[in-house]
Amino acid sequence: MNCPICGGKETAPILYGLPLFDEELKRKLRDHRIVLGGCLVSPFDPQYHCFSCRTDFFDPEDGENRERNEELKRKYENRERSTL
């Protein structure tokens, strides 16, 4: 999935909760196929992480999340401008 914030191609789903740290999970973390999101879970938590812009974002296929991603994109663009 491409990042709706920067267009990056290296993205991964965010896993929330308390996972079992087995070899498969360690491999997925190492290979950037999954990211840990913490133990507390809410319906307002982003579902994906972009390794290019280091931004967590919501499923772009879900139309209800369009506004959330647009807000994240504005914040990312402002952050980029402030570092110039």
C-alpha distances in angstroms, 17 versus 3, 36, 84? 23, 8, 37
Query: Dihedral, CA atoms, 15, 16, 19, 21, nearest 10 degrees?
Result: 50
Instruction: Report whether pLDDT(36) > 90.
Output: yes
Provide the pLDDT confidence category of residue 84 given band limits of 50, 70 and 90.
low
Instruction: Report whether pLDDT(14) > 90.
Output: yes
The mean per-residue pLDDT over the stretch 31-55 comes to 94
pLDDT at 54 (0 to 100): 94
pLDDT at 81 (0 to 100): 76
pLDDT at 4 (0 to 100): 95
Domain parsing of the chain, residue ranges: 11-82
Report CA torsion sign: 8, 39, 69, 66: positive
Long-range contacts of 58-64 (CB under 8 A, 24+ apart): 60/1, 60/4
Averaged confidence pLDDT in the chain: 92
